[in-house]
Amino acid sequence: MPIQTGYSEVNGIKMYYEIYGKGAPLVLIHGGGSTIQTSFGRIIPLLAPHRQLICVELQAHGRTGDRNTALSFEQDADDVAALLGNLNISKADIFGFSNGGNTALQIALRHPALCKRIVAGSVLLKRNGTLPQFWEFMKNGTLEQMPQPYKDAFLKLTPDSTKLLTLFQKCKDRVLHLTDVSDDALRFVQAPVLLVNGDADVATPEHVIAISRLIPHCSLAILPGGHGEYMGEITAPQKGQTPYKSFVLLIEQFLDKEKR
């Protein structure tokens, strides 16, 4: 159970957050269309004994409010930074999954003083980083094809089908209009970064390897499985706790290293 839950005014919306555990702060940023629990529900109990977890729900997701604007990773980064300011957290480690990993890297670029270390899981940072059929699938995607666990989780927290449709369309539009993060921007990331990807993930292994060579202080782990399988994301096949415990050990070892 979280030790604190609440809403915070950030850049014109009310952002929902949960805090678990005690220790050095670690911010958890969920994936697109998701909630705190659909992305991180299986690993929060494994991380909380050693960390203070600050878990957020981003614009239009879960319990957080929306604006009359498109979603962007830059705005999400600014929203998370504002929340940390409201919570009097001046520096933290950050773990973002999928779209949340893109947001984590934008925090490193836009708010570098906030970042100690970053774990970016299953990120897609350039349009050529995935297979062509992914773009065809996204172009033709409908709300009916949105994973049912995402729809169920959203409606449980915000029982409004109109808002669910808005979330789906905004997430789809953001992916379809993905803008490449430039090589120069990636070279500007100064925080140590751990990139994690599945070997059958949305982004290809070749993509994350190429990205890892651009970020100055970057480690890389390519793990068996598809999107989020290594951390027990709700849509991934369930294989018991062993893979998730191994993943948590991996990121804890990275986060506990002395900063370079």
Question: Phi-psi category of 106—alpha, beta or left, where left has phi over 0 and alpha has psi -120 to 50?
Answer: alpha
What per-residue confidence (pLDDT) applies to 206? 98
- Please list the alpha-helical segments (H only) found in 194-237: 205-212
Q: Output the pTM of the full model.
A: 0.96
Flag whether 209 is in a domain.
Answer: yes
Q: Output DSSP code: residue 239.
A: -
List beta partners, residue 7. Answer: 16
Q: What is the CATH number of the domain that holds 129?
A: 3.40.50.1820
Flag whether 216 is in a domain.
Answer: yes
Flag whether 260 is in a domain.
Answer: no
Tell me what the mean pLDDT of segment 174-190 comes to.
97
Tell me what the mean pLDDT of segment 44-62 comes to.
97
Quote the number of domains for the chain.
1
Domain range holding 177? 4-255
Flag whether 47 is in a domain.
Answer: yes
List beta partners, residue 197. Answer: 222
Flag whether 12 is in a domain.
Answer: yes
What per-residue confidence (pLDDT) applies to 243? 79
Residue from 218, 201, 236 nearest 123 by CA:
201
- Amino acid letter for position 63: R
Residue from 87, 91, 175, 93 nearest 127 by CA:
175
What per-residue confidence (pLDDT) applies to 234? 95
